[in-house]
């Protein structure tokens, strides 16, 4: 059984439906990548799993979210509070804004263990220092006594990861954890997350727009566009034999240096906003293979080995 599984998730804000038909599952010791451009609904998916939709005025209208056999879709807020930041950890994109600038690092991380593991402040501090040490932060005791502004971006992101780990989660959701960081720091953080998945047998949901990060870390991939999943499968099939024209185009957008033979074409047009989701296949206005049927009918998923694509022409040679 999967640690976390999302089936046919649909989300609405009033009469607007920014998310529909999103499914994925992730096991212990596994990393799933949710990849897509801005506005594709990646972060909204994360917020749905974290039960944070009511906070921004949204609600789940379809499908369900199951965590360790428990349905989260109708979980009361009091029960959600125990899970959130506890057994389900969240790492946000911007470490600069996810720490309280007025509090020292120590107490901010301690708070997680005090709240979720009912530790005394003293126990919690010992645990905090342990976690900082496993995250290869030099001199944890000293760091606990610092304020966020005294640290670099990479160090702050490690603190945010420490907070997510403090309550010993089973699932970690990382929403663009390295987007705000320099490449060498990104490499440090990605290595760290990889090690954590293996050592702690975590299930990691990695949300990113960067296909290279996906290629480096993920076991499985979901490709999202305009609030829908368009293709999912193992990382090897997604990169070797992508079926959906959007996935193919997205991979074609990655600059590959050196030989200068591969031309970057880009994808004509722009990602539609939630008010202008196209009818039929959401990608059809930008798709080079679009036919009449694509403008009217939303394609169903068709399976190809261990992947599946929602395209009328998946598997058909162009």
Q: Under 8 Å CB-to-CB from 54, ≥6 apart: which residues? A: 77
CA–CA distance, 298 with 278 (Å, rounded to integer): 10
Q: Which residues pair with 303 in a beta bridge?
A: 308
Among 1, 15, 38, 102, binds other proteins (CB under 8 A): 38
Indicate whether 79 belongs to the interface with other proteins (CB under 8 A).
no
Indicate whether 250 belongs to the interface with other proteins (CB under 8 A).
yes
DSSP H helices in 7-134: 42-49, 77-83, 105-116, 121-134
Burial of 27 (0-12, 13-18, 19+ CB in 10 A): middle
Q: Work out how close the CB of 206 gets to other proteins at its nearest, in angstroms, rounded to a whole number.
A: 13
CA-based nearest residue to 172, from 200, 211, 153: 200
CA–CA distance, 304 with 311 (Å, rounded to integer): 12
Tell me the per-residue interface mask from 80 to 109 with other proteins, x by CB under 8 A, - otherwise. Answer: ------------------------------
Q: Work out how close the CB of 142 gets to other proteins at its nearest, in angstroms, rounded to a whole number.
A: 14
Among 147, 239, 277, 304, binds other proteins (CB under 8 A): 239
- 179-238 residues in contact with other proteins (CB under 8 A) are 182-188, 190-191, 194, 209-213, 215-216, 218, 235-236
DSSP H helices in 103-182: 105-116, 121-134, 140-144, 153-165
Q: How many residues does the chain have?
A: 318
Indicate whether 270 belongs to the interface with other proteins (CB under 8 A).
yes
Which tokens belong to 140? 């944890």
Would you say the C-alpha torsion 98, 104, 110, 116 has a positive or negative sign?
Answer: negative
Q: Work out how close the CB of 147 gets to other proteins at its nearest, in angstroms, rounded to a whole number.
A: 17
CA–CA distance, 318 with 313 (Å, rounded to integer): 8
Q: Work out how close the CB of 258 gets to other proteins at its nearest, in angstroms, rounded to a whole number.
A: 4
Nearer to other proteins, 15 or 38 (CB): 38
CA-based nearest residue to 147, from 211, 208, 96: 96
Q: Work out how close the CB of 195 gets to other proteins at its nearest, in angstroms, rounded to a whole number.
A: 10
Indicate whether 74 belongs to the interface with other proteins (CB under 8 A).
no
Cα separations (Å) of 274 from 57, 176, 304? 15, 21, 30
Site stretch for other proteins (CB under 8 A), options 45-53, 99-107, 108-116, 248-256: 248-256
Indicate whether 248 belongs to the interface with other proteins (CB under 8 A).
no
Among 14, 57, 255, 318, binds other proteins (CB under 8 A): 255
Query: Rounded to the nearest 5°, which phi and psi values hold at 293?
Result: -60, -30
Q: Work out how close the CB of 36 gets to other proteins at its nearest, in angstroms, rounded to a whole number.
A: 9
Among 55, 56, 264, 317, binds other proteins (CB under 8 A): 264
Indicate whether 61 belongs to the interface with other proteins (CB under 8 A).
no
DSSP 147: -
Nearer to other proteins, 156 or 312 (CB): 156
Indicate whether 142 belongs to the interface with other proteins (CB under 8 A).
no
Among 82, 97, 139, 268, binds other proteins (CB under 8 A): 268
Nearer to other proteins, 127 or 220 (CB): 220
Give the position of tokens 């969240």. 90
Which tokens belong to 242? 């992508």
Q: Work out how close the CB of 189 gets to other proteins at its nearest, in angstroms, rounded to a whole number.
A: 8
Residues that bind other proteins (CB under 8 A): 37-38, 152, 154-155, 182-188, 190-191, 194, 209-213, 215-216, 218, 235-236, 239-240, 249-260, 263-268, 270-271
């Amino acid at each position: 059984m999967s640690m976390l599984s999302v089936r046919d998730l649909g989300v609405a804000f009033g009469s607007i439906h920014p998310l529909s038909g999103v499914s994925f599952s992730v096991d212990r010791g596994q990393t799933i990548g949710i990849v897509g451009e801005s506005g594709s609904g990646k972060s909204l998916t994360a917020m749905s799993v974290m039960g944070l939709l009511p906070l921004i005025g949204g609600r789940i209208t379809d499908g369900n979210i199951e965590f360790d056999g428990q349905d989260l879709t109708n979980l009361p807020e009091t029960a959600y509070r125990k899970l959130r930041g506890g057994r389900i950890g969240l790492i946000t994109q911007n470490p600069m804004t996810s720490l309280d600038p007025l509090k020292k690092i120590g107490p901010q991380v301690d708070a997680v263990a005090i709240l979720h593991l009912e530790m005394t402040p003293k126990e919690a501090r010992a645990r905090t220092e342990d976690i900082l040490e496993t995250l290869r932060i030099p001199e944890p005791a000293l760091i606990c006594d610092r304020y966020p502004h005294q640290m670099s971006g990479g160090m702050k992101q490690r603190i945010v990861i420490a907070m997510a780990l403090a309550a010993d989660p089973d699932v970690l959701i990382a929403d663009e954890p390295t987007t705000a960081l320099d490449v060498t720091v990104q490499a440090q953080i990605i290595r760290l997350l990889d090690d954590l998945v293996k050592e702690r047998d975590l299930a990691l949901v990695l949300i990113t727009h960067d296909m290279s990060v996906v290629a480096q870390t993920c076991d499985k991939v979901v490709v999202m566009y305009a609030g829908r999943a368009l293709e999912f499968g193992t990382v090897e099939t997604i990169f070797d034999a992508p079926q959906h024209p959007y996935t193919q185009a997205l991979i074609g957008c990655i600059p590959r240096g050196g030989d200068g033979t591969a031309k970057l074409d880009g994808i004509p047009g722009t990602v539609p906003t939630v008010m202008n989701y196209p009818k039929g296949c959401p990608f059809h206005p930008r798709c080079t293979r679009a036919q009449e049927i694509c403008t009217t009918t939303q394609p169903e998923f068709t399976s190809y080995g261990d992947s599946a694509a929602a395209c009328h022409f998946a598997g058909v040679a162009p």
